Amino acid sequence: MRHLIPLIIFAVLVVFLGVGLNLNPREVPSPLVGRPAPQFHLKELHHPDRLFGPADLKGKVWILNVWASWCAACRTEHPILNAWSRNPDLILIGLNYKDNPVDGLRWLQALGDPYTRSVVDNNGRVGLDWGVYGVPESFVVDKKGIIRHKTIGPVSMDDVKTVLMPLIVQLEGESV
């Protein structure tokens, strides 16, 4: 019996490892989904004299995309956001996270600016309030200001077509 204990412990560890390897890291549950979007008032990247916050979009469905000029995965995601932003009904807000605003502006000038507006989160405080693990991350917010979906990592065109746009269309049809 004494020799079976290490074997049993090993078997339990193998089971936990097997289960862990089958989990999708992009599907980390967010405690904020289903809750009101954290409020903020941040300076706009293009107009630092103006403040913007979620309250300005009450009654509208919108997406918050957390990005930074130093983020390699954001560069991968950016062409998809540029293509998606051609939809005139899409409200895509950029949260420039822990970045130098000058670098962020340069990056958008070089790669295109898909955002309806971008705001600056220099110290990462707002990102922390939104539960950001890293960049990029995207959140869908409904007309009532409730977070309805979170995507961790770069948004793919498949995500846009099969998850995000159907959800946005559904939320647009809901009354306030």
pLDDT in tens, 130-157: 999 889 999 999 999 999 999 999 999 9
Q: Tell me, what CATH number does 58's domain have?
A: 3.40.30.10
Cα separation, 114 vs 101, in Å, equals: 16
- Is residue 72 in a domain? yes
The model's pTM is 0.83
Q: Is residue 27 part of a domain?
A: no
Give domain status of residue 25, yes or no. Answer: no
- In this predicted structure, what is the pLDDT of residue 12? 75
Confidence of residue 24 (pLDDT cuts 50, 70, 90): very low
pLDDT (0 to 100) of residue 175: 81
The pLDDT confidence band at residue 21, using thresholds 50, 70 and 90, is low
Q: Is residue 15 part of a domain?
A: no
Q: Is the pLDDT of residue 17 over 70?
A: no
Domain that holds residue 62: 32-173
Considering the domain boundaries, does residue 18 fall inside one? no
> What is the per-residue pLDDT across 79-90, written as a single tens digit (0 to 9) for each?
999 999 999 999
What is the end-to-end Cα distance of the chain in Å, rounded? 64
Using a pLDDT cut of 90, give the percent of the chain over it.
78
H-type helices in 22-130, by residue range?
72-84, 101-111, 125-129
On whether residue 10 sits in a domain, the answer given is: no
66, 80 contact by CB (below 8 A): no
8 lies in some domain: no
Binned at pLDDT 50, 70 and 90, residue 70 comes out as: very high
Does any domain span residue 55?
A: yes
> Structurally, how many domains does the chain consist of?
1
Nearest to 176 by CA among 143, 140, 145: 143
* Confidence (pLDDT) at 77: 97
